[in-house]
Amino acid sequence: MAPNPRRARIFFKEKGLDIPSIEVDLFGGENLKEDYLSKTIWGLCPALELDDGTIISEAPAICSYINDLHPEPPLLGTTPLERAQVISCDRHMENSGMQSVIYAFRNGYKDFALRGVGGREGDKIIPELIERGRNGIKIFFKRLEKQLSNAEYIAGNFYSMADITGLVVIDFAKFAEFSIPSNNINTLKWYEKVASRPGTQV
């Protein structure tokens, strides 16, 4: 159910690639144990391990690497401007959308009482931040609706990594009991289109 590994899985599937994966038990804290930390000191998933043992962490870095090796279909745009728009929108999906859902979900999740921040231990959850997260999700939905009133997809009139992150954020928001507001017609139309793609069924 973890959203960031899902971003990478969808990206691979959209590229038609079958990349073997190993599940890491985040709820059980496997990502904080020596085995996983010896691969990536940041303790976060996903991480892509190459045949020579090199590790690439951070979903957008993994996607960018794969996109350069397998340019078709293009998921980061086809011109420098499109690429800039995709990266910009992807970051907004993450910083404004994903971060708000994390605040709202994580700070109310008792099993993570001392895991308030991903990838490390010892930070108490802060229930007051739930409200900040919930407010952030509302603002995110409003802004996404506006963004999608200008073009068919989040970064323009082409499907991209930003749509993958947007979809993943919205599916993850269900854990914080949020769904697309019923009068956000542009977002609902967009969601139907991206959620029904064969590549997103992971």
We find the least distance from the C-beta atom of residue 7 to ligand GSH, in angstroms, to be 7
We find the least distance from the C-beta atom of residue 150 to ligand GSH, in angstroms, to be 25
β-pairing, 55-57 vs 47-49, is antiparallel
First to last CA, the chain: 10
We find the least distance from the C-beta atom of residue 2 to ligand GSH, in angstroms, to be 4
Quick one: 113 or 185, whose CB is closer to ligand GSH? Answer: 113
Report yes or no: 135 and 175 within 8 Å, Cβ to Cβ: no
Indicate if the alpha-carbon torsion angle 56, 62, 64, 66 is positive or negative. Answer: positive
CA angle 11, 117, 187 (to 5 degrees): 45
Q: How far apart are CA 71 and CA 195, in angstroms?
A: 22
| C-alpha distances out from residue 153 to 45, 119, 131, 137, Å | 26, 32, 29, 19
**Binding positions for ligand GSH, rule: CB under 6 A:** 2-4, 26, 31, 44-46, 58-60, 115, 118-119
Quick one: 26 or 144, whose CB is closer to ligand GSH? Answer: 26
Quick one: 31 or 187, whose CB is closer to ligand GSH? Answer: 31
We find the least distance from the C-beta atom of residue 3 to ligand GSH, in angstroms, to be 5
CA atoms within 13 A on the CB side of 142: 6
We find the least distance from the C-beta atom of residue 42 to ligand GSH, in angstroms, to be 8
Length of the chain: 202
The two structure tokens encoding residue 144: 């996404």
Quick one: 106 or 145, whose CB is closer to ligand GSH? Answer: 106
Closest CA to 5 of 87, 103, 19: 19
We find the least distance from the C-beta atom of residue 168 to ligand GSH, in angstroms, to be 9
Quick one: 100 or 184, whose CB is closer to ligand GSH? Answer: 100
Phi, psi of 175 (to 5 degrees): -70, -25
Quick one: 3 or 166, whose CB is closer to ligand GSH? Answer: 3
